[in-house]
Chain A
Amino acid sequence: METLLKTENLTLSFNGKKILDNLNLTFKRSEIHAVVGPNGAGKSTFASTVMGLDGYRKFEGGIFYKGLSLKELGVYERAKLGITMGWQEPARFEGLKIRQFMKASSKDKKEDSIIEALSILGIDYREYADRIIDKSLSGGERKKFELASIVAMQPELVILDEPDSGIDVASLDNIFGAIRHLHDNGATVILITHSLEVLKNAQYAYLLCSGTLLDEGRVSKIRKYFEGKCLTCAHKNIPLFSELERYV
C-alpha cells in the first residue's frame, strides 16, 4: 500500500528539550494507525506538528504528505490538502451554533450530509442545530460534535487525539462507527489513544516514549504495552528498557 504520510528524522524542541526526537514514521494510505505511549510521550505534539499549528512549525527533519513537504504550509493549506485533526480537548466557541460549525466544516455544504454525519455519532440534528458549542455542551458532547464535523469534512488524513476521552460506554460505538465510516470512505486515520479498545481498531501502531519511537508493529504486538506495567510504572518520560525488552 502506498505511503500517504511520512516523517523523516522529525525533531521538535521546546526550550532546548526534544519533545519529538528523530521520529521516522510511515502511514499507509487508507489504513488505520495508532500512536500510543505514556502521558507526556509527545503524542499530541506529534498531531499538532503534522497539522502545522502555531508554535509547532519549527521542526527539524521532514514531514511529507503524498511526497510533498509540509514544512512551509500553514494549517489552512494543509487542510486544503485533505489533512485535519480532532483535538484532545476540543475548542469552545462563544455564540457559534452547531449548524454554523457543521456547515463551515462540511465539504459539500449540503444539509443532508451534515444530518448524516451527526447521525453516525448518534446525534439528532434538529435537536442540536441551534445549540452553541460552548461550555453548555459537556466535554463528551463536544468530542462527538468535533468528530461529526470531521466526518462532514471528508478528509483524506485525520489524526484523532484521544477520540474516546470523556466518552461514555454507550457512545463508544458511535465513535468507532465514525472511525469506520472515515476509513470506509478512503481516509487514512491516525488514532492517538490510551485505550486498548481504541487500539484494536488499528492495523498498525507506533509506541512513543519521551518523544522517541520505542516500538512499532501490528496491534497484536503493540497491545502488549497495555498489558505490561509501562502505563503505571513510576518513571516520568524515561523508558524502562528492561520492562519493554520483555515484549520486543
Chain B
Amino acid sequence: MLREEILYEAADLKDVIHDPSVARLVINKDKVISSNLVEGIEINTESIKDGVRVRLVVKEGKIIIKPVHLCFGVTAENAVQNIEIDAEIEKGASISLLAHCVFPVAKDVLHKMDAKIRLREKARYSYFERHIHSDSGGVKVIPRTRVILEKEAKFKTEFELVKGRVGLIDMDIESECGSDSIIEMTARINGTEDDRIIIRETGYLNGSNSKGVLTSRVAVRNNASAEIFNKLIAAGDHSRGHVDCKEIIKDNGKASAVPIVEVRNATAHITHEASIGSVDKKQLETLMSRGLDEDEATELIIQGLLN
C-alpha cells in the first residue's frame, strides 16, 4: 500500500479523498501529500524544520458547509513532526474541521502542534481531533493552541484519543473570550499501560456575557497517569462558566485534577464539578446484577464515559 493510502484508510478518509466538494489537507511527516480547496477557504503551506506551517483563512461571511478534513500522519516508525497552524476565521464565517492524527506504526514519534486561531466577530469554528495511534505507546503528542474570540464568536473543540496507546500526551489549550462569545473545550482520553496524560485547558471569560464550558473525561488503567489542569477565569460582566472533570481509575492508574476557578466580577458565575476515582458503585452493581462480571461492567461504564 502507498503511504498516503495507509493514512487515508486509518483516518477513514477514503470516501472524501475523491470528493471535490470536500476541502482537505493531508500531511505525511513534513510533506503535503494531498490537498483540495473549496470556495471561501484559503490554505497556504510552507516547509519548516521537520514539518509544515499552515495558514488557513476562511473569508468573510463564508459558511463552509462540509467539514474540512485535515490529516497529520507519520507512516514511519521514528520521526519528529512539527505542525504550525495559523488560522483566521473572518467576520461571520463558519468552518468545521475534522483532524485525524494518524501514527499507525509509531515506535518513537514526536508530534508537535502549535496553533493560533483567531475568530473575528460572529465567526464560528468547530474542531474535532481524533487520534489513531499504534499499540506500542511510542507516540508523544504535544499540542499548544491559543484562541482569540471576538464579539459573538463561537469556538468548539473536541479532542479524542480512545483507540490505540496514548504514549505521552501533553496538551495545552487557552482561549480568550470577547463579549457574547462562547467556548466549549472537551477532551476524552483513554490511558493504559504506562501512558501519561496531561491536559491543560484554560478559558478567560473577559467579555461581557461570554460563556465557557471545559470538559474532560479520562480513564486510566494499568500504570497510566493523568493530570488535568482546568482553569476558568470570569472577568466579564455576567460571564458564565462551568468546569466538568471526570476521571475513572483502575488497577494502578493515577489521576489528579487541579481546577482553578476564579471570578473577578460580582455579576459573573462559575460552577465546578469533579469526580476522580474508581467506577461508581451503584452503576457497577446494577450491571453486575444483570449478569456482567466486574471487568465487563467496568469496561461498559468506561466506554460510556468516553462516548
**Contact, CB under 8 Å: A100 / B289:** no
Q: B246 contacts which chain A residues (CB < 8 A)?
A: 94
Indicate whether A53 sits within 8 Å of B301 (C-beta atoms), given known contacts A79-B290, A104-B290.
no
**Contact, CB under 8 Å: A153 / B291:** yes
Q: How far is the CA of A132 from the CA of B287 in the complex (A)?
A: 15
Q: B286 contacts which chain A residues (CB < 8 A)?
A: 87, 90-91, 146
- Shortest CB distance B38–A (Å): 31
Q: A84 contacts which chain B residues (CB < 8 A)?
A: 289-291
Indicate whether A93 sits within 8 Å of B290 (C-beta atoms), given known contacts A53-B285, A87-B282.
no
Q: Is the C-beta of A244 less than 8 angstroms from some C-beta in chain B?
A: no
Q: Is the C-beta of A96 less than 8 angstroms from some C-beta in chain B?
A: yes
Q: Return the chain A residue nearest B282 by Cβ.
A: A91
**Contact, CB under 8 Å: A95 / B288:** no
Q: Is the C-beta of B274 less than 8 angstroms from some C-beta in chain A?
A: no
**Contact, CB under 8 Å: A51 / B301:** no
Indicate whether A54 sits within 8 Å of B290 (C-beta atoms), given known contacts A95-B305, A95-B307, A96-B304.
no
Q: B287 contacts which chain A residues (CB < 8 A)?
A: 104-105
Q: Return the chain A residue nearest B188 by Cβ.
A: A95
Indicate whether A93 sits within 8 Å of B291 (C-beta atoms), given known contacts A53-B285, A54-B281, A54-B285.
no
Q: How many residues of B contact A (CB 8 A)?
A: 25
Q: Is the C-beta of A149 less than 8 angstroms from some C-beta in chain B?
A: yes
**Contact, CB under 8 Å: A100 / B290:** no
Q: A107 contacts which chain B residues (CB < 8 A)?
A: 291
Indicate whether A104 sits within 8 Å of B292 (C-beta atoms), given known contacts A90-B286, A96-B300.
yes
Mark out the residues of chain A between 74 and 109 whose CB falls within 8 Å of any chain B CB in the assembled complex: 74-76, 78-80, 83-85, 87, 90-97, 100, 104-105, 107
- Shortest CB distance A47–B (Å): 10
Q: Return the chain B residue nearest A82 by Cβ.
A: B291
**Contact, CB under 8 Å: A91 / B293:** no
Q: How far is the CA of A76 from the CA of B307 in the complex (A)?
A: 25
Indicate whether A76 sits within 8 Å of B288 (C-beta atoms), given known contacts A91-B280, A91-B283, A94-B246.
yes
Q: Which of A90, A93, A100 has the most CB of B within 10 A?
A: A93
- A 8-22 to B, binary, CB cutoff 8 A, 1 in contact else 0: 000000000000000
Q: Is the C-beta of B306 less than 8 angstroms from some C-beta in chain A?
A: yes
Q: Is the C-beta of B294 less than 8 angstroms from some C-beta in chain A?
A: yes
Q: Return the chain B residue nearest A75 by Cβ.
A: B288
- B 105-120 to A, binary, CB cutoff 8 A, 1 in contact else 0: 0000000000000000
Q: How far is the CA of A153 from the CA of B292 in the complex (A)?
A: 11
Q: How far is the CA of A92 from the CA of B246 in the complex (A)?
A: 14
Q: How far is the CA of A50 from the CA of B297 in the complex (A)?
A: 20
Q: B283 contacts which chain A residues (CB < 8 A)?
A: 91-93
Name the 5 nearest CB pairs between A and B, nearest first: A96-B304, A95-B304, A95-B307, A105-B290, A75-B288
- A91-B282, A95-B306, A104-B287 known; 9 new pairs, CB 8 Å cut-off, are A53-B285, A75-B285, A83-B289, A84-B290, A91-B283, A104-B296, A104-B300, A146-B286, A153-B291
Q: Interface of A with B (CB < 8 Å)?
A: 51, 53-54, 74-76, 78-80, 83-85, 87, 90-97, 100, 104-105, 107, 132, 146, 149-150, 153
Q: Interface of B with A (CB < 8 Å)?
A: 217, 246, 280-283, 285-294, 296-297, 300-301, 303-307
Subset of 8 A-B contacts with CB under 8 Å: A79-B290, A80-B291, A84-B289, A93-B301, A93-B304, A95-B307, A96-B300, A107-B291
